[in-house]
């Protein structure tokens, strides 16, 4: 994006939405990302565009004039993009996309193959891995990531589903170790002499405690001892089926084992807990038609595949 256009979309959105927070929702970024973009724009222009208090915001005189001109510029850009898109009936060109390995192979990959069959001119370069990527450095157009995203003014995120989590174990494991009946009982066992153990997902040496929601919706964290830690959800699934411990797995991944009875839910959770999935891209005023087609396809077709709780 040209430096002269940076911050303009955020500025116009903040004016029209009435607040930085609502502008952030419209642009699929964080409030602080909008604030940083506008602060840099004001610094570049050498003037204040907003008068802000803790309760309200209003345009300065310079802000009013600048808004009217920016609004017309963005309207012209939107019209130009619409004209270009209208001339295309199919997507064409190469889109490079990174995604979590297991989710990619079982869910996202088949969806994108179906999309490619609908658009013969569309080429895909897919990377299946769980590491964190840098879109620019790795030459990627898009990445699918699970969980909380870092606060960045350089990225745009669009939700494409939720990975609902289930706590499960092999029947033989529960017969031997006993079956905790609640999150509280599970948490209590974590402080005893290893009544229960877990198979845990770990990436880059970092292990996150399991998260649950109580009946009031509050976040509860539980950490259990473990003999197996790895960055492969597939291996964790196999370990849980083999009776190595309790596993906290995405519901879509555990669904077949639960249906077959090789895994069972340890207890019914008061409220479901899940990690939001987002497709992220570098922030740009111009979103290529080929990239928009991929994002829209995932946003429409991926959520139903993850709906199991």
What pTM was estimated for this model as a whole? 0.69
Alpha-carbon dihedral 189, 195, 198, 202, rounded to 10 degrees: 70
**Domain 163-274 belongs in CATH node 2.60.40.10:** no
What confidence tens digit (pLDDT) does each residue in 270-294 have?
999 999 999 998 877 667 889 999 9
93-155+283-301: same fold as 8-85?
A: no
The domain defined by 93-155+283-301 folds into: D-Maltodextrin-Binding Protein; domain 2 (3.40.190)
Alpha carbons within 13 angstroms on the beta-carbon side of residue 286 total 10
Structure tokens at 230: 């790895």
Q: For helices 251-260 and 233-241, what crossing angle results, to 10°?
A: 20
Give the pLDDT confidence score for residue 16 in this predicted structure. 84
Give the pLDDT confidence score for residue 108 in this predicted structure. 95
DSSP characters for the chain?
Answer: --TTTTTHHHHHHHHHHSSHHHHHHHHTS-HHHHHHHHHHHHHHHTS--EEE-SS-EEE-HHHHHHHHHHHHHHHHHHHHHHHHHHT-SS--EEEEEEE-HHHIIIIIHHHHHHHHHH-TTEEEEEEE--S---TTTTT-SEEEEESPPPP-SSEEEEEEEEEEEEEEE-HHHHHHH----SHHHHHHHTTSS-SS-EEEEEETTEEPPEEEE-TT--EEEE---EEEEES-HHHHHHHHHTTS-EEEEEHHHHHHHHHHTSSEESS--SB--EEEEEEEEE--S---HHHHHHHHHHHHHHHHHT---
What's the length of the chain? Answer: 309
Pick from 62, 12, 10: which is nearest to 38 by CA? 10
Q: Note down pLDDT in tens along the chain; length 309 residues.
A: 556 677 888 888 888 888 888 888 777 778 888 888 888 988 988 889 888 776 778 888 888 888 888 888 887 777 676 666 545 567 888 999 999 989 999 999 999 999 999 999 999 999 998 777 778 778 889 999 887 776 666 778 899 999 999 999 999 999 999 999 888 888 776 555 558 899 999 887 788 889 999 888 899 999 899 999 998 889 999 999 999 999 999 999 999 999 999 999 999 999 999 999 999 988 776 678 899 999 999 999 999 999 876
Q: Rounded to an integer, what distance in angstroms lies between the CA atom of residue 50 and that of residue 60? A: 5
The percent of residues in the chain predicted with pLDDT above 70, rounded, is 90
Residue 262: left if φ>0, alpha if ψ -120 to 50, beta else—which one? alpha
**Burial of 152 from C-beta contacts in 10 A (0-12 / 13-18 / 19+):** middle
Q: Where do the structural domains in the chain lie, given as residue ranges?
A: 8-85, 93-155+283-301, 163-274
| CATH number given to 8-85 | 1.10.10.10
């Amino acid at each position: 994006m040209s430096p002269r256009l940076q911050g303009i979309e955020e500025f116009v959105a903040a004016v029209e939405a009435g607040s930085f927070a609502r502008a952030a929702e419209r642009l699929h970024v964080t409030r602080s990302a909008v604030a940083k973009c506008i602060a840099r724009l004001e610094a570049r222009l050498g003037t204040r565009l907003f008068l802000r208090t803790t309760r309200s915001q209003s345009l300065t005189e310079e802000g009013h004039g600048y808004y009217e001109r920016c609004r017309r510029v963005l309207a012209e850009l939107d019209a130009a993009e619409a004209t270009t898109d209208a001339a295309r009936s199919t997507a064409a060109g190469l889109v490079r996309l990174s995604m979590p390995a297991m989710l990619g192979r079982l869910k996202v990959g088949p969806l994108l193959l179906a999309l490619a069959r609908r658009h013969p001119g569309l080429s895909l370069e897919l990377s299946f891995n769980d590491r964190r990527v840098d879109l620019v450095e790795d030459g990627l157009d898009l990445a699918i990531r699970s969980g909380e995203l870092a606060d960045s003014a350089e990225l745009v995120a669009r939700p494409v589903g939720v990975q609902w989590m289930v706590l499960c174990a092999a029947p033989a494991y529960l017969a031997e170790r006993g079956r905790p009946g609640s999150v509280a009982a599970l948490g209590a066992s974590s402080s005893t002499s290893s009544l229960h153990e877990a198979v845990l997902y770990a990436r880059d040496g970092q292990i996150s405690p399991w998260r649950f929601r109580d009946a009031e919706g509050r976040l509860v964290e539980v950490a259990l001892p473990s003999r197996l830690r790895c960055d492969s959800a597939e291996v964790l699934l196999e370990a849980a089926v083999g009776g190595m411990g309790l596993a906290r797995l995405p519901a879509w991944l555990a669904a077949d084992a639960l249906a077959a009875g090789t895994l069972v839910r340890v207890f019914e959770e008061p409220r479901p807990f899940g990690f939001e999935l987002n497709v992220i891209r570098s922030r740009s005023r111009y979103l290529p038609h080929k990239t928009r087609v991929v994002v829209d396809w995932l946003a429409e077709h991926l959520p139903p595949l993850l709906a199991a709780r």
